[in-house]
Each structure stands twice: as C-alpha cells, then as structure tokens.
Structure 1
Amino acid sequence: MKPKKLKNLINRTRSALRWRIIEQTHNQDTIEIVSDRTERTHTILTPANPSPQNPLRDIEYLHELAHATLCETVHPVFSTHYFAADTPAEDIRTLTPIVRAASDWFADQWLMEHCPELERAEIEEHYELAMAALRRASGPVEAEVLYGTALMIAQGIKYLSKLNNTGGQLRDVVNAFLSVRTEKPTAKKMEFLINSLASPYTNLRVILGSSANWHIRR
C-alpha cells in the first residue's frame, strides 16, 4: 500500500469513530491508546521524543485505531483493559501482558482485512525478529517477552504459513493463540483467549463482568 493510500485509510478509520479522539504525548517510546468507555474518548499517546532510529510509523498509528474501532463496534475489552476495583496489583501486573497480547491478536486481524499487503510485511519482519531473539535467548524470560514473542510467531504461522518450531511453554502459548479464530471477534472469544494464554504461565483466570471489567479467579 502506498503511503498516500495508507494515510487515506487512517483518515477514514479515524473519521468513522464516534468517540472523541484526544492526542497527547508521553515519555514512553511506543504509541498507545487509552479508551475511556465512560467518557467515550480515545486518547492516543505518542512518544514525546521519538528516536530517529525508531520513528513512529503510520501502520503503528493505524494499529491503535484498530483497537478503537473494535472497542466501539464489538466491545470495549478490545482496547484498554480495566480490572475490578478490588483486584490485587500483583495480579494486574501478571495479567496485563496477557490481555494486551490477546487484544493485539484481534487488532492485527483487522489490519489484515484492511491493508493485507502492508500487514503481512509487518508480520514477516516481526516473525524473523522473534526467531532471531529465540536463537540468542537462554534461560527464562519475562511475561511481556514470552507473550510478545508467541504472538509474533503465531501470526507468522497463521498468515504466512510458517512452521511451529517452538517447544515447551512458548509452544503452549503459540498454540493458545492459534486455537482462537480472529475473523469474528467477540468478548467471549477474548475471555477464552486470555484464559488459554494464561494457562501455561499462571493459575489466574479472568471473567468478564457486566461493567466490562475483568474479575480474577484462581
């Protein structure tokens, strides 16, 4: 997809959103969206000082708009995740990488449907980076790395017909991603995926409450 067409897709996607969009900067080096279902706003946070070696790209911005679109058209859990007020902070820290990876699984399907050529190139690049990191890795990894790596490998298998050459805990997480079809997202699918992803790593599980908050069970 040519840059102008990608810009047009971003503008159309953004214009189709009903909630108010707020643009802010933050001190992180990645782009992030925070959707507030009470105020009906999407706050898009971009790096205040982006690295020249890693500039913000339009496809990354569109990825956040994909979360916002699914939030409005399917269910708020496809964007920002909220836990019940009495959830222990340690449990939130444990589950946050899992729920983020689960929502990215569905958001990237949206990108595949709207800009497949560009998204395939992204997946190819990320898959190769993940496999290179695996070859260098030794010992246990943090949850954020485990689930981010598994997501990239699962996407390579799903969209690029790569082989699943992983093993152990990583293979279990990859297979959990692949067990959930992304083409027709629902909140129940999200709940099932989160719990499937959590299974190899923790005994914590989630239940979606009536207020769209995640409740923890053990």
Structure 2
Amino acid sequence: MILAKRPNAGARSAARKEVMDRLLARFEWPVEEEFMHSEFEVHSDPVRKVHVVQWPRESAHKEPAFERYLHEMGHALLAEKVHPQFSRPSFLRNTDPALRNTYQALFDAALDWYVQALLMEIAPDQQGADLDARFRQTAQMLRQGAALPSVEFVVDAGMALASFQRFRGLEADTQGKLTEVVQAFLRTPPDKPTLFGLQSLVRGLLGVFGMHTASLVSEKGFERWRIDAVKKD
C-alpha cells in the first residue's frame, strides 16, 4: 500500500511522514489512488474492500491540507475496522432532501467525534491544534452572545466544547440545548467506536431538538439511516 501523492510541502517533514506512516500502517485493505479529479475525496468500498483516494488535478488548486488528509483517512480506517457508515452518512434513497440537509451536520459531527479520538491517538499534535482552535472560536462566539440559529451551529459548538472537556479537562459554562448536546457527546466513549454507539449518539443529538429520531435499516444489503418524525402523544 503506497500513496505516491501525499499532501505537499510539510508532508516532507520527518514528523508528518511519521504520522502518515503510523496511520497507513493500520490499514489492511489496499489504498488506491486516482488522479485528475475535481475535488479531493476518499472513498471506502466495503464490497471490494478497498479505499480509493481521489486527487484533484493541479489546475484546480484544491490539494488538501495535511489535516484534511488525515481526517478523511481516519474516516476510511474506521469504515474498514468498524462499519462502512463511519466513512460518511448514508441515508435511505427516499429520504427527503430538505430533511437530510437540516441534519447532515449532526450526522457528520457524530462521526467526527470518533475520528477525532482516533487522530488524538495517532496525530495528537495536529488534531490537538485543531481541537484548540475550534474551542477558541466557539468560546469567542459565545462570549459575544452570538445566537445559535441552526442545528449545525448548536452541534458544532457542542462538539467543540465537549472535545475540549474530554481531551483538555476544561469545562465551559453552557445552557439550554447547547448543554444537552455537550452531554450527548460526553456520554459516548469516542475511543470505543461501535455501530450501536454511533446510533445512540445520533439519537441523543436528535433528541435535543425534539422533532426527529433516526435508526439504521437495511436497504439492498446495506445499512442506511432512516429519519422519522417523533410521534407526539
């Protein structure tokens, strides 16, 4: 398994090469590369049992930052070792697009909770710097009294605060839905990824907003997310 085109510039440093080698050594499925794409993406194929790294053409000027590369490869590793849903959220084909757009960030954050823990083990310097930066940004926003206008804002802020508490041991004062989101993350051990744990986390986060729940159901041999309205008494 050789990746010929790793992220440029800093990837030549011994420290970054060591991190990348440490991460890639954990894969059992082969990692293939494709070039001349419009965007950088990593796809994990559970049928072929292979990961495909798609690199953008140079003229697109979209080569990923080192941290983005690590993050996507973290998803791929969890997709291989735990379940394909850890690659990216997959929904039933008839899912309402508006509903999916509303909650996409919530499902993404649930996966990132596990990816972050994996990278704190493999690349603590890089992931730790990202964790600290997101906490500072969130804390500044809250100090300024900024409103949290959407599911995405609440979940992203909650994950940033929960991450700082778990990995840095510092707790921030929160209230309302933000507190509930923080607690939903903290109830979920990110260093022990399971499909059951992922589903419980997603349901816990959705429960904060009180409108919908979700479950994994089989569709054409693959488990996908189904989003249902909460039944009112």
Q: Distance in 1 between matches of 2:145 and 2:51?
A: 37
1:110 alignment partner in structure 2? 118
* Runs (5+) with no aligned partner, structure 2: 1-10
User: CA distance change for structure 1 residues 165 and 23 in 2, over 3 Å: closer, same or farther?
Assistant: farther
* Runs (5+) with no aligned partner, structure 1: none
- Assess if the C-alpha contact under 8 Å between 1:84 and 1:215 holds in 2: yes
2:61 alignment partner in structure 1? 49
Matched, 1:64 2:72: yes
User: Identity, % of aligned pairs?
Assistant: 26
User: CA distance change for structure 1 residues 32 and 146 in 2, over 3 Å: closer, same or farther?
Assistant: farther
SS at match of 2:192: coil
Alpha-carbon shift at residue 10 of structure 1 (Å): 1.6
Alpha-carbon shift at residue 9 of structure 1 (Å): 2.6
Q: Distance in 2 between matches of 1:84 and 1:32?
A: 22
2:8 alignment partner in structure 1? none
SS at match of 1:87: coil
1:8 alignment partner in structure 2? 18
Say what the alpha-carbon RMSD is for the aligned residues. Answer: 2.5
Q: Distance in 2 between matches of 1:7 and 1:215?
A: 40
1:101 alignment partner in structure 2? 109
Matched, 1:126 2:134: yes
- Assess if the C-alpha contact under 8 Å between 1:7 and 1:58 holds in 2: no
Larger Rg: 2
Figure out how many residues of one structure are paired with residues of the other and give that number.
Answer: 210
Alpha-carbon shift at residue 103 of structure 1 (Å): 0.2
**Residues 20-59 of structure 1 mapped to structure 2, 5 A cutoff:** 20-23=31-34, 25-26=37-38, 33-38=42-47, 40-44=49-53, 48-50=60-62, 56-59=64-67
- Assess if the C-alpha contact under 8 Å between 2:41 and 2:53 holds in 1: yes
1:18 alignment partner in structure 2? 29
TM-score by length of 1: 0.83
Matched, 1:215 2:226: yes
Alpha-carbon shift at residue 120 of structure 1 (Å): 2.2
Amino acid of the residue matched to residue 18 of structure 2? Answer: N
